[in-house]
Structure 1
Amino acid sequence: MAAANHNTVKYGIIGVGMMGREHLINLYHLRGEGVAVVAIADPHIPSQQLALELAQSFNWPLKIFSGHQELLNSGLCDVVIVSTPNMTHYQVLMDIINHPKPHHVLVEKPLCTTVAHCKEVVNAARKRPDILVQVGLEYRYMPPVAKLFEIVKEGSLGQVKMVAIREHRFPFLVKVNNWNRFNENTGGTLVEKCCHFFDLMRLFVGANPVRVMASGAIDVNHKNEIYDGRVPDIIDNAYVIVEFENGSRGMLDLCMFAEGSKNEQEISVVGEIGKGEAFVPESIVRFGTRVAGRDAVQTLKADDDRIKYDGLHHGSSYLEHLNFLSAIRTKGEKAPAVDLQDGLISVAMGVAAQLSIEKGRFVTIEETMAEHKF
C-alpha cells in the first residue's frame, strides 16, 4: 500500500483532461496529508503537456505514460484516479481490478455508461478485497448539500416524502475529440451529468428507486454542431420523476441553457414535519417546520473549514479525496463513502430516465438491471 518512506501514498492519474488535472491540483493541496502524484497516463499529448506543466509548478516529478496498462505495470502507484472519457471506464477499471498489483481506485462518475458494464465491474471488484474503489459522486460533499443531509439525518424534517433538484446551468464544455457530444460515449446526459442528482435523491430519501418517468429533448444546444458528419444527440433539458421503495418521490428539473441563474443547483427536501433547501454556489441552507411556518425559517451559510481548495466543484473534490485517503489509510476498515453499488444504482436510474424519454413510458429499475438490451 503506502510506500515505506514517510508513508507517502503515491497516486497515478489515468486521463489528464480537465477533470484529471483538477484531481492533480486537489492532491497538491492535500500534500500535507502525505500524498504525491508520481505518474500520469494519457494518449493525448496536449493533455499530457498541461498536466506536466502543473506538476512542474508543484515541484512534483512525474512519470508519463501514453496508456494506463504501462502505468499499472510500472508498479509506481498505490492509488489510481480514473478520469478518462466515460466510454473507456469499463475497460480501464477491469484492467486495474485484474492487475496483479493492487491499486486502490477513485473513478470519476459515471461508473460506466451501461448497467451491464457496471455490474461486471462490481462483480470483478468483489474478488479483490485488497482493493478499495470509490466512485466520484462528489456532490455529496458540497458543504450546503452535506449540511442539508445532516438536517435530514437528525430528523428535523421528519420522514422525507419529496426531493426536488433543479440544475439550471451552462451547456456541456468542449472535451478532447468532442467525445461528450454523443450518447454512445457518455451514456446520455441523464447518466453523464445527472447520476450525481440521482445519487443525492437516494441519499436523502434513504431508499432505493423503483421506477422512473422522464421527458426531455435537444431544444437549444449543439444543434448546429457537426463532428465527422454527425450532429450531437445529447439532450439539453429534461424533467425526471423517480419513485422509491418507501413511497418517497424525487424530481429532477435539468436545463443546460440557463446561464442566467443565480444558483446552478437548488435542492429541496420536504418531510412530514418540515422542509429544507440547499443552494449552490450561494452555499446557503434554509430550513423550517410546518408548525413554526414561514417566519421561523432559518438561513445558514454552509462552509467546511477543512477545504483548502475550492476548485471546480466548491471544495467537494477536495473533501472526496480527504475521505478516500482516510479509507485507504485505515486499510479498508473505513469503507469508501461512495461505493460501487452507489455508482451502479446512480447509472441504472440515469439509464431508466434516458429509456423513458425514448419509450414515452415509466421504466422500472428492475428492467434496466436486467441483462437484455432494449
Structure 2
Amino acid sequence: MTQDIRYGVIGCGMMGQEHLRNIALLDGAEVAAIYEPNAAMAAASHVLAPGAVLCDDLDALLSRDDLDCLLVASPNHLHVEQLDAVAARQPLPVLMEKPLYTAPQHAERIAALTRDYPAPIWVAMEYRYMPPIAAFLDRLDEATGGVRMLSIREHRFPFLPKIGHWNRFNRNTGGTLVEKCCHFFDLMRLCLRSDPVRVMASAGQEVNHLDELYDGERPDIWDSAYVIVEFASGARAMLELCMYAEGSRYQEELSATGPSGKIEAMVPGPGRFWPAHAGPAPVPQVVLSPRSPKGPQVLEIPVDAEILAAGDHNGATFYQHQRFLDVVRHGTSCEVTLADGDWSVRMGLAAQQSALTGQAVTL
C-alpha cells in the first residue's frame, strides 16, 4: 500500500480550509501539520484535519521532518516572505496559492526562486481545473480553428470578510486586478499560447465597501473593471469584472472565437450562495457554435456533488490537488509554473497601473 503524502499547511483561513476539505477527499494524502496564527481559524482547521499538529509558528512547521510537501494559503502580502522562509529551511514541493506576489519589487525574488529552488513550486491557478473550463480548454483549438478573440466575464459577489479585513486594502492584496483577476490573465495566456505586449484598463471602486471603516481607514479595493490585452501573436483578449452582480445565473462566462467558430463556457458560482427559491442550481455548460454548419451545441458538464460541496471553485481545488500529488509522487512537471504565476501578476499590476493613469501599459 502506498504511503500517504503528508502536507504541511501554512495559512488556514477561508481558502486554506477549502484546501483541507479537498485533501480529505484524496486517496493517499493527509494533512500532518498546520500553522495558522488566528486561534479561531486554527480551531476550525483542526476540526477539518483532526490528525494534524497545530504549530505555534512557521519555524515550528518548517522544523518538522515528516512532511512531503507544503501548501501556502496565507494572505497575499505574506506569500513572498513565506516562500523565502521555506526556501531557506525546508525546500519541499509547494502548492502556492495565488497571487504569487503583490508588488513589482517582489519580481526579482521570484526570479531567484525560479533559478535556485530545488523542488517544484506549483502556483494555484484553480480556474484551469474547473470542469467546464477544462472542457472548454480541451475543445478550444478544434472549435475555433485557432483563437483570435477571447472574452472573459466574471459577475460575482463582493469580497467576503477575512481575518483582520486584510482583503479590503490594495497594499495587502496587490489590488483587485492582481488578487482576483490573476486567474483570468493566466487563462488568457493559456488559451492564446502567447505572451501579452500591451494592457489597457478602466476600473474602480463603484459600489462595494464604501460605507466600511477599519481603524479609521476606508477600504480602497476595486469592485469593477474592463481590461483589454493585446498579445504577441496578434490575438486580443478582454476581461469584464463586476463584483456586485451576485444575482447572475452564471458567475464566469468565457467565449473564444476563431476562423472556424466559437466556444463558450458557463460556470455557476458557489452552490452555497444559490437561492433556494430559484430552484436547482444551474449546471455548468460548454456551448459549441461552428460557423458551418451553423447551430449551437450545448454540452452539460456536471460536477460530482461531493467534490462540488468541498469548496467554492466548482470542483477545481480537488482536481488541482490530484495533479499536484502526481508531481510530488512521481516527479512530473508542474502544469502551472512560477513563470505562469509571475506573468499573471505582471498583467494584473499593468492593468492596475493603466486604470490609475489612463494610459496603456507596454510589457
TM-score bracket for this pair, using the shorter chain length? over 0.9
Note the C-alpha offset of 1:152.
1.3
Structure 2 residue aligned with 1:370 = none
> RMSD in angstroms over aligned alpha carbons?
1.6
Aligned partner letter, 2:327: A
Q: Within the alignment, does 1:122 sit opposite 2:122 as a pair?
A: no
After TM superposition, the structure 1 = structure 2 runs for residues 135-284 of structure 1, keeping only pairs within 5 Å, are 135-153=123-141, 155-281=142-268, 282-284=283-285
Match of 1:36 in 2: 30
Any conservation in 2 of the 1:39–1:76 contact (CA below 8 Å)?
Answer: no
Q: Answer yes or no: is the 8 Å Cα contact 1:355–1:363 preserved in 2.
A: yes
Aligned to 1:372: none
Give yes or no for contact 1:14–1:80 (8 Å, CA) kept in 2: yes
Whole-Å Cα distance in 2 between the matches of residues 328 and 228 of structure 1? 43
- CA displacement, residues 267-317 of structure 1 (integer Å, 9 cap, x when unaligned): 000111110000002310001211222xx2111012466984542111100
SS in 1 for 2:234: coil
8 Å contact from structure 1 (residues 168, 255) kept in 2: yes
Residues 237-268 of structure 1: CA deviation (Å, up to 9, x unaligned): 01000000001111000000001100000000
Q: 1:78, 1:102 within 8 Å by CA — same for their partners in 2?
A: no
Gaps in structure 1 of 5+ consecutive residues = 366-374
Contact 1:273-1:290 within 8 A present in 2 as well:
yes
Letter in 2 for 1:300: L
Paired residues of 1:97 and 1:125 also in contact (CA < 8 A): no
Conserved? CA contact 2:73–2:96, under 8 Å: yes
Aligned pair 1:55/2:49, yes or no? Answer: yes
* Identity rate, percent: 45
Q: Indicate conservation of the 8 Å contact 1:239/1:251, yes or no.
A: yes
Superposed CA offset, 1:3-32 (max 9, x none): xx94221101100101111111100000x2
Inter-CA distance 307–248: structure 2 relative to 1 (3 Å threshold): farther
* Partners of 2:305 and 2:161 in 1: CA distance: 31
Q: Which runs of 5+ in 2 are unaligned?
A: 269-282
CA drift of 1:116 comes to: 3.2
Which residue number in structure 1 is paired with residue 312 of structure 2?
Answer: 312
Deviation digits for residues 320-368 of structure 1, max 9, x if unmatched?
A: 000000111112xx21111100000000000000000111010112xxx
Q: Which secondary structure state, in structure 1, belongs to the residue aligned with residue 144 of structure 2?
A: coil
Take 1:53 and 1:285, find their aligned partners in 2: how far apart are those partners?
Answer: 37
In the alignment, is the contact (CA less than 8 A) between 1:94 and 1:121 conserved in 2? no
| TM-score normalised over the length of structure 1 | 0.90
Specify the code of the residue in structure 2 equivalent to 1:336.
Answer: C
Q: For 1:11 and 1:38, locate their aligned partners in 2 and report how far apart those are by CA, in whole Å.
A: 6
Provide TM-score, normalisation by structure 2. 0.92
Change (3 A) 1:177 1:204: same
- What letter corresponds to residue 145 of structure 1 in structure 2? I
Structure 1 position 147, deviation (Å): 0.7
